[in-house]
């Protein structure tokens, strides 16, 4: 494993090469990824291949930094004061967890394979659920799902109330205070900023390019394509390596499919968990629960609260 790759030099070379290929129209960049409305795109992540070089993390930062928040300070005082300030603007360099300024990070797990201790590294970001509760339960319609399956939060509409995070089984979206619509509407009473997460480089995909993290990876850890093809590839790979799949059924199915040589229960025990560090255990379908218990409230502003309550009651060992 080559742990000594210079992330910055690799990134620059790879992105420059990719840009050149794209500009020249030479085969290699996949124009088939341009959104044609024909179905959801998914990614396959082969955990065995990841060397933890973080070129993908840096590529995500460089590609998407123009979408990052630039908060106004001092922040308005909030009433009630239980709405906490979340300020990452002075910690933009943090890369070991998800933040409003870091939408992808590398999780580390030391596990035993064939009796030998091995470290696996796992790229983590939004799972892009097939039926995303963050989208369906956002009280303000700020979270949207595109026809190609990408879920994204519109920073121009979001009030930072965190319902998307409350109903996300992996607590993915991260809030930055002092930015967004609430400052113009009710700076002391509503929301507290804007929620941020991986938008799967929707703008690059719309141009027929692959997401930056996929493009730059030296080990081709990720593959992107139509969900049914990705699921078929994941099963073939899992069969070949006698491995395990995560994401096909979690939360009713996601558009991020991991294949691992060790059971995900083992990986989940081995990774550090907590805010901004999502788990890897089995996850029931949050929307099925929400539909059963709060069907009449789905489009109501309180639907997010209901679903969060359901999650709280059902969830066991979330941060264990
Ligand atoms: S996914 Fe690729 S770019 Fe990211 S850490 Fe793993 S090997 Fe490096
Ligand atoms: S993982 Fe969470 S934030 Fe991402 S689409 Fe699913 S519910 Fe939404
Ligand atoms: S798909 Fe784009 S936004 Fe999402 S983690 Fe990769 S580079 Fe970042």
Ligand 3 pocket list (CB less than 6 A): 59-60, 63-64, 103-104, 125, 198-201, 211-213
pLDDT recorded at residue 181 = 85
Helix/strand/coil for 86: coil
Of ligand 1's atoms, which has the minimum distance to the CA of residue 106?
5
- Give nearest CA residue, ligand 2 atom 5: 128
- Give nearest CA residue, ligand 2 atom 6: 129
Ligand closest to 216 (CA) is 1
Cα(132) to centroid(ligand 2), Å: 6
The one-digit pLDDT tens for each residue of the chain (320 residues) are 333 333 443 334 343 333 333 333 322 334 456 544 558 999 999 999 999 999 999 999 999 999 999 998 888 887 766 678 899 999 999 999 999 999 999 999 999 888 889 999 999 999 999 999 999 999 889 999 999 999 999 999 998 989 999 999 999 999 999 999 888 877 666 668 999 999 999 999 999 999 999 999 999 999 999 999 999 999 999 999 999 999 999 999 999 999 999 999 999 999 999 999 999 999 999 888 766 555 434 444 444 444 444 444 444 344 32
Cα(139) to centroid(ligand 2), Å: 15
Q: At which residue do the structure tokens 């603007």 appear?
A: 89
- Give nearest CA residue, ligand 1 atom 6: 50
pLDDT recorded at residue 246 = 98
Token pair, residue 108, equals: 């580390």
Phi, psi of 310 (to 5 degrees): -60, -45
pLDDT recorded at residue 80 = 67
Cα(285) to centroid(ligand 3), Å: 24
- Give nearest CA residue, ligand 3 atom 8: 60
Helix segments in 137-195, DSSP class H: 163-167, 182-185
Sheet holding 244-246, edge to edge: 222-226, 41-46, 256-260, 244-246
Cα(213) to centroid(ligand 3), Å: 6
pTM given for the model: 0.84
Cα(299) to centroid(ligand 1), Å: 39
Closest CA relative to residue 70, chosen from 157, 178, 168, 164: 178
- Decide: residue 278, CB within 10 A, 0-12 exposed, 13-18 middle, 19+ buried: buried
In the chain, at which residue ranges do the beta strands (DSSP E only) sit? 41-46, 105-113, 116-124, 143-145, 151-153, 174-176, 194-196, 222-226, 244-246, 256-260
Cα(174) to centroid(ligand 3), Å: 15
Token pair, residue 145, equals: 């799902």
Cα(267) to centroid(ligand 3), Å: 22
Ligand 1 pocket list (CB less than 6 A): 50-56, 106, 121, 123, 217-219, 221
Q: Which helix (H) or strand (E) holds 18?
A: helix 7-24
The reply to whether ligand 2 has any atom less than 6 angstroms from the CB of 134 is yes
pLDDT recorded at residue 38 = 56
Phi, psi of 200 (to 5 degrees): 50, 35
pLDDT recorded at residue 304 = 46
Helix/strand/coil for 99: strand
Q: Are 195 and 177 in contact (CB under 8 A)?
A: no
């Amino acid at each position: 494993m080559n742990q000594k790759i210079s992330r910055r030099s690799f990134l620059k070379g790879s992105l420059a090469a990719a840009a050149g290929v794209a500009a020249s129209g030479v085969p290699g960049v996949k124009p088939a990824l341009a959104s044609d409305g024909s179905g959801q795109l998914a990614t396959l992540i082969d955990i065995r291949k990841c060397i933890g070089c973080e070129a993908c993390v840096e590529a995500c930062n460089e590609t998407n930094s123009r979408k990052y928040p630039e908060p106004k300070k001092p922040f308005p005082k909030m009433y009630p004061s239980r709405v906490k300030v979340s300020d990452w603007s002075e910690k933009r360099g943090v890369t070991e967890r998800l933040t409003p300024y870091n939408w992808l990070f590398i999780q580390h797990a030391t596990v035993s394979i064939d009796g030998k201790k091995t470290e696996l590294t796992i790229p983590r970001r939004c799972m892009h659920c097939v039926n995303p509760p963050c989208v369906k339960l956002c009280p303000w319609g700020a979270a949207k799902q595109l026809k190609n399956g990408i879920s994204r939060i519109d920073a121009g509409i979001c009030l930072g109330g965190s319902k998307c995070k409350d109903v996300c089984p992996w607590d993915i979206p991260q809030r930055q205070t002092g930015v967004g619509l609430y400052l113009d509407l009710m700076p002391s009473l509503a929301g507290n900023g804007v929620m941020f997460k991986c938008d799967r480089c929707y703008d690059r995909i719309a141009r027929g390019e692959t997401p930056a993290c996929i493009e730059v990876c030296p080990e081709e850890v990720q593959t992107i394509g139509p969900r049914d093809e990705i699921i078929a590839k994941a099963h073939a790979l899992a069969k070949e390596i006698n491995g395990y799949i995560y994401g096909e059924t979690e939360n009713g199915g996601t558009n991020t499919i991991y294949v691992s040589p060790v059971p995900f229960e083992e990986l989940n025990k081995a990774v550090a968990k907590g805010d901004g560090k999502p788990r890897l255990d089995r996850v029931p379908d949050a929307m099925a629960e929400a539909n059963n218990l709060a069907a009449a409230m789905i489009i109501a502003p309180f639907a997010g609260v209901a679903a969060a309550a359901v999650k709280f009651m059902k969830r066991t060992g979330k941060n264990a």
